[in-house]
Structures are given as C-alpha cells and as structure tokens.
Amino acid sequence: MRILVFGAGPLGSVLAARLHQGGQNVTLLARGNRLAQVHQYGVVLKSWTTKEEESIQVPLLEELDPFNGFDLVLVVMRKNKALAALPILAANCSANFLFLMNNAAGPDEFIKALGEERVLTGFAGIAGFMEGHKVVFINAEPKREAEILLGEPDGLVTPRVIMIAAGLEKGKFIKAKVLETMDTWSKNHVALLFPALAPALYLCGNDNYRMANTRDAILLAWRGIKEGFRVLKKLDIPVQPPSLNKFLCIPEPLIVVFLRRLLNNPRMEIGMVRHAVAIRDEIQQLNTEFLVLAERSGIFIPNIRFLIAQFNQNAPPLQEGSRNLRMDWSGIFIPALALIMIGLLVDLVF
C-alpha cells in the first residue's frame, strides 16, 4: 500500500516515521523550513518519556501533483488547515483520504470536496511538539502504543476500512481500531477538551500548574464541560466512550480534587499545554463548530460562552489561586444525608 502523510508537523512526522519503520511504502509531504530540516537530519524523534532520540530517513515529497496517486493519504493537520487544503486534495487522484484530526462538524465538508467513496475520518492518539528540528512526543513507543481510531462516514465496517486499519497496524508501535461511531466519538472528544477546558487553560496563562492552583478556572472548565455534554445529549449524540458517563456524575468538590491532580501531572505539558500553545487557530475553529451544535440544541451554555469570549478576546489571566466561585456541594450533601437516614432507619428497625 502506497501511503502519503500530508502534514509534517509533530503527529504527521511520528506517523510517517513509524509506518516507514514498519516496512510500509510511505512518503512524507513537507514544505519550506520543515522540508529542509528533514532533508538534513531525517525525521528526528525524541521520546519525552526516556529522552532517547532516533533519526528515520523517510522519503519526501514537496508538492502533491494531481496525477501522483496513492492508495491512502493520511491528512494529519489542524482542522482549519485541512479545510484550506481541500482544493489541493480534491484535485489529486488518490483512492482514499483519512482525515486524522479533531472535528466537531462531521465529515460533510470533506465529502463535498472529495466524494464519500474517498473519505474516512479518525484520530491519532499521539501528542508532541517541535523542539527545533526534533519532534518531542509521547505514545508510539515501547509499552505505550499509539492508537489510531478510524471509521467510515456512514459508520459501516467495510472491507476498505478494515484493509486500511490493517495497513496502519504494520507501523511500529501503532495499533488501529475501527469505530462505527467515529463522528460521535469526535464530537465527544471536542466537547470534553475544547469549548471549556482549553479556554480555561488560557485564562491561567496556558500553565497547567497555575490552573491546578486556581479553583475558579477548574470550576469554569468543569461547568462548561457539563454544558457541552448536555448539548450532545439534546442532539441525541450518545456519550463515547460510555465510561465518560461516570466521570460526568462526579460532584464538584471531588472533581476539583481529581482535576487538580490531573493538571499537576507532568505529562500534561506535552499532552495539552505545548499542543494548545501551537493550535490557537484550531481551537477557534473547533469552538465555532461546537457553538453551531449548541445553537441547534437550544441548550443554555453560559460558562462555555463566557470562556470562549475570554479566549477570543485574549482576556488577561485569572488571578492565580482565585476562589470566588461558590462550590456546589449538593452532590456530596444529598448522598451523605441519604446514608445518615439509612443509618437511622437501621437503628430504629434493629
């Protein structure tokens, strides 16, 4: 299978390198300074976990000729950049295009440009950032494989998507999973991370440790996340993965403790912070897409609207450690009161 990775940023570089190491016939499309870097050094991968480095010589392409066809084109870039590249992709004769990116609007724009028979959507479970010519990354490494999710636009499990998943799994430290609910999963992923959590992080100077120490930011993010999932519920979009249902039921006092611990995890630097710094334009794109869903649902989303407005206006950061918002203790008090009543009834009966 001839594969082209369209997009030589951190994720595209890691995928191209791992597929090449797995014996796949893969080419990486790169331009400008990134093209010069890979020509000189190869794709240099630096594990954030172990700090070990490796250089992989991947075949390169500078321009996508309309008549240079591939069996599979992996489009690995920000959603807004992918939309801008659609005329180039549509003019190419390749058989299949797998869009690996965050997406709240669904596959319709891709299908309109390329035709449903050439479009698949998905998400690559890799995080990374550029450090000069090196890609610092997590996942796609020993004991921590990168999971690539993918699916057909209509949700069917076809021979095509099974074949492509099998081809991707030949990559080193890569596993692929076909989802019948890829679009549902994508909308859930955006609802969890972008309309609330990402703007709240920006309100803390894009500093996960500062956010961990700022209860107001955590509460704003959590309330916005719950608003986002109410939007999806109203639109009959189920929670994916289903385990998120339990997460969404956690009372505020407990979620503050949980999110504070999560934000203090050093892996957040590469999993969220470094990535968020580089994708402000994509965050705006995804938030705009999610607001369309919110309008369609009719759900009241004051926290999301506040956070997005602050993000779009480059508002000054919240004071570190601010605790002005009142915590909702009802999720704790009601179960505690129920336990007390049960204890009293047990005493009366026995």
Q: How far apart are CA 91 and CA 109, in angstroms?
A: 15
Distances (CA, A) of 168 to 76, 147, 154, 186: 14, 10, 21, 20
CATH of domain 2-180: 3.40.50.720
Of 24, 22, 23, nearest to 4 by C-alpha is 24
Biggest alpha carbon–alpha carbon distance for the chain: 83
**Phi/psi at 283 (nearest 5 deg)?**
-60, -45
pTM of the model: 0.93
- Could you give the residue range(s) of every CATH 3.40.50.720 domain in the chain? 2-180
Q: pLDDT tens string for the chain (350 positions)? A: 999 999 999 999 999 999 999 999 999 999 999 999 999 999 999 999 999 999 999 999 999 999 999 999 999 999 999 999 999 999 999 999 999 999 999 999 999 999 999 999 999 999 999 999 999 999 999 999 999 999 999 999 999 999 999 999 999 999 999 999 999 999 999 999 999 999 999 999 999 999 999 999 999 999 999 999 999 999 999 999 999 999 999 999 999 999 999 999 998 988 888 777 778 999 999 999 999 999 999 999 999 999 999 999 999 999 999 999 999 998 775 555 444 444 444 444 43
The answer to whether the beta carbons of residues 76 and 135 sit under 8 Å apart is: no
Of 339, 134, 303, nearest to 231 by C-alpha is 303
Q: How far apart are CA 226 and CA 220, in angstroms?
A: 10
The answer to whether the beta carbons of residues 210 and 273 sit under 8 Å apart is: no
Q: How far apart are CA 107 and CA 185, in angstroms?
A: 13
Q: How far apart are CA 290 and CA 192, in angstroms?
A: 11
What was the pLDDT predicted at 246?
Answer: 92
What was the pLDDT predicted at 335?
Answer: 55
Q: What is the DSSP letter of 71?
A: S
| Tokens 């929670």 -> residue | 239
Q: How far apart are CA 92 and CA 184, in angstroms?
A: 28
Handedness of CA 278, 282, 288, 290 (dihedral sign): negative
Q: How far apart are CA 13 and CA 171, in angstroms?
A: 13
β-pairing, 134-138 with 127-131? antiparallel
Q: How many CB atoms lie within 10 A of CB 221?
A: 26
The answer to whether the beta carbons of residues 216 and 322 sit under 8 Å apart is: yes
260-290 burial, b for 16+ CB within 10 Å, e for fewer?
eebbeeeebbbbbbbbbeebbebbbbbbebb
Q: What is the DSSP letter of 141?
A: B
**Phi/psi at 149 (nearest 5 deg)?**
-95, 140
Q: How far apart are CA 38 and CA 112, in angstroms?
A: 33
